[in-house]
Chain A
């Protein structure tokens, strides 16, 4: 029980009670924590702040469409060895010097417990998560070329993020603790903004939040503005010294919030939508 409730959030990152609980359950049970949620709700930042909050090192593994599970463990640099054998003056009989540990391998080999972030796992091939199952279960693997057995001294705290671009396999899901980061409501958002800008005037904060949530109500937006965009925008407002009354009439620095050309057309052109006529009328 004493090792529970480790993670409490950090002074730059506000967590909901549910998320805090889920993080601690994942840590206590030694299971990977799978985090989903709208873009910009702080999925990736969560791992950074777990590491920060617990004072642990963070290892990031950014997944791309070409990533393979085996790359996360280690890579055997055959080309380098071939090159050294021909031109180098090194002794190439020691294969170990050509084995380079990947992010997962480094997390296992680390002397201390680390936080491992597997970012955007759904970017990779469909079979990618399945290929990781065994290693994540056992927290160990063997380097085939040398026969070295690498086992985790301390189970790393694994955080996996997904944008739901692809469905994840059931066998993989069964092993994870799952948390869906909901979009923060206005009270929560107020806390989040205050953490980043402690000195913000209340009027400005209220006015910008109101505008922000109005914008999010427009159903036809290709990309709704998210938390990170709100923070950028608020920063622009503060730096630009914008008066809060100005926000009520128009939206200064709109490009910080609305990123797609079509959405901008929708807003500026004032094309009406059947779904939310009232919201549009304000922007004519």
Chain B
């Protein structure tokens, strides 16, 4: 008995040691992100590189707000932030509402053609976005939607993508069928059942879908890059990327990194707060591939 206990202790010790080593390797770049955001411009290009600044330059975080220039008297940061918030509001509401609306049709009503449409929806997961990229550009160009947020928002009102539809469908399938039957006896129609019963019961998965939509839009580079041409229409992701590539607005690594730190905070905070929902959605999606 004693030796079994001892064995377990050794096992736990070894495991902790390995995990700590791996965690240090994984988190080291993030530590460096913070560290280098606090250096002076010269310090950041020193050879050999420093692990931590001699004096932490917290003022970098204040200076980046003034360093990108203005458009008609408004700071670009403010414009990019405003665009990102508008985009988030449009996309999250579209994804959440339309995915549960569509999922209700797929799970709660039986009618011909339903399963065929569902199969097609799942099939679209296999289509690489690069194939539809160019024609989508020409379609939105014909609609005069270039350099507006429309191409980024309205597609999300069509169910929010196959993965989200699949997630919500899987969740609605776990809700008891009796919901519908008893409500129908009481004389409620499908729209009433959707609003009063299904929508409230689906809240956990909808939170997960909403968080996923938020992070997806926040991090998205390709779509803003394609559709938003002039600088005042950009999103934060695009603005932060070009801080590094354009010769222009902000000098030096520390400022770019300070911007990256601030930019990374919202998804990090959200993940920490809503970890439970995040994992729930993975459990839902992962099991029945």
| A interacts with B | no
Interface residues of A (CB under 8 A from B): none
Interface residues of B (CB under 8 A from A): none
